[in-house]
Chains A and B, each alone.
Chain A
Amino acid sequence: MHELSLAMSILDIAGEESDRRGGAEIKSIYLKLGPLSGVIKQALISAFDLAREMSPFSKVELVVEEVPLRVRCHVCDTERELPCFQDLCCPECGTPCGDVVCGRELEIVAMEIES
């Protein structure tokens, strides 16, 4: 259950952003989450609901965008989106693809602020 500590990190980063903008109110936080991040979306949202109560941002919303898993197939010389992260094989030619292009994201991309 590491989602709670991640939720607290997200709120810390929001706090830094607010401070940098002279105490601006943060309305929402937009997060990109990949299937290989090791984080379950629902668990993170639940943890976030709990963590924000203990922070200065009790009304801030967390908006999670789940991004797909993409690998590079060196045989097809193309990037492929994979439907499942338990089988890292090219869906076209079947070659195992260890070259993950995206899918590990655990990144805050934007915030909605009020000023």
Chain B
Amino acid sequence: MSLPTTTRMVEVRTQVLKANDNDARLLRQRFHNNGVFVVSLVSSPGTGKTLFLERTLTMLRERYRCAALVGDLATENDARRLERAGVPIRQIITGSVCHLEAKMVSDALVGWNLDELDFLFIENVGNLVCPATYDLGEEMRLVLFSVTEGEDKPRKYPTIFNTADVAIITKIELATVTEFDREAAYASVQAVRPGMRILELSAKTGLGMNQWLEFLELRSAERSERLVVV
């Protein structure tokens, strides 16, 4: 004879992403302690993340110590391209995983002395869906979309735009030939992330790159002040 069983409800209150959130919290703490400003990049495939990052690293390395992690489903092509910028680069091959997780970032950082860095960039896998859900411990998340992708991209992928801090419109040198509707693009960003800062640039011609770097330096300086006050 088996014992009678009873069914009951128990409150659990657990974040499904608690393991990732915990890893991300530890990373953020570590980045703060080491004084490294961490920027992550998300976009669709083909927006020009890698060229943008290559240009950013090449310009920034004159005055700051930089490094980058690059996530990709397969191949180390992006890392090889980025090595031309002359800063430490590591590739994270995710295999079939469509996004980076905080654990992959901490694993990829093994052996790097973060004290020796001012800026660390993390290029996520080209995907506007899955990366939205995973905190990587970054200080600033950039979402990039190009003038060739359509002005309504933010409204099509509201979650990723909503979790990002800054929108960057790339390939602005093609704005005229593609009849890019700037007003519509800005409205689309503001609809899903009111008040979001938008920057326009061309990594190819360099247009807007100085403004982006000034903005980045300002944000980094503000963060340092905030940490000192705390």
- Residues on A facing B (Cβ under 8 Å): 1-2, 5-6, 9-10, 12-13, 17, 21, 27, 31, 36-39, 85-89, 96-98, 100, 106-115
Determine which of A88, A106, A107 lies in contact with B192 in the assembled complex, contact meaning CB atoms within 8 Å. Answer: A88
A17 cross-chain contacts in B, Cβ below 8 A: 10, 12
Answer yes or no: B191 CB below 8 A from chain A CBs: yes
Whether B17 pairs with A88 at a CB distance below 8 angstroms is: no
Whether B9 pairs with A108 at a CB distance below 8 angstroms is: no
Q: A38-B160, A113-B7 are in contact. Are A6 and B16 (CB under 8 A)?
A: yes
Whether A109 pairs with B133 at a CB distance below 8 angstroms is: no
List 28 contacting pairs A-B, 8 Å CB cutoff, sorted by A. Answer: A1-B98, A2-B130, A6-B17, A9-B17, A27-B7, A36-B158, A36-B163, A37-B133, A37-B159, A38-B160, A85-B158, A87-B191, A88-B191, A88-B193, A89-B191, A98-B195, A106-B15, A106-B16, A106-B133, A107-B14, A107-B15, A107-B16, A108-B16, A110-B10, A110-B12, A111-B9, A111-B10, A115-B8
Complex: how many Å from CA A115 to CA B10?
11
Complex: how many Å from CA A101 to CA B8?
31
B196 cross-chain contacts in A, Cβ below 8 A: 98
Within 136-177 of B, Cβ neighbours of A (below 8 Å) are at 155, 158-160, 162-163
Most buried by A among B15, B16, B129, B191: B16
B155 cross-chain contacts in A, Cβ below 8 A: 86-87
Whether A86 pairs with B191 at a CB distance below 8 angstroms is: yes
Interchain pairs with CB closer than 8 A, number: 106
Complex: how many Å from CA A113 to CA B18?
21
User: From residue B183, how far is it (CB to closest CB) to chain A in Å?
Assistant: 15
Complex: how many Å from CA A35 to CA B8?
29
Complex: how many Å from CA A27 to CA B10?
11
A110 cross-chain contacts in B, Cβ below 8 A: 9-12
User: From residue A67, how far is it (CB to closest CB) to chain B in Å?
Assistant: 14
B160 cross-chain contacts in A, Cβ below 8 A: 38
Answer yes or no: B90 CB below 8 A from chain A CBs: no
A96 cross-chain contacts in B, Cβ below 8 A: 190-191, 194-195
Determine which of A21, A85, A97, A108 lies in contact with B14 in the assembled complex, contact meaning CB atoms within 8 Å. Answer: A108
Determine which of B8, B9, B132, B192 lies in contact with A85 in the assembled complex, contact meaning CB atoms within 8 Å. Answer: B192
Q: A85-B192, A98-B194 are in contact. Are A36 and B162 (CB under 8 A)?
A: yes
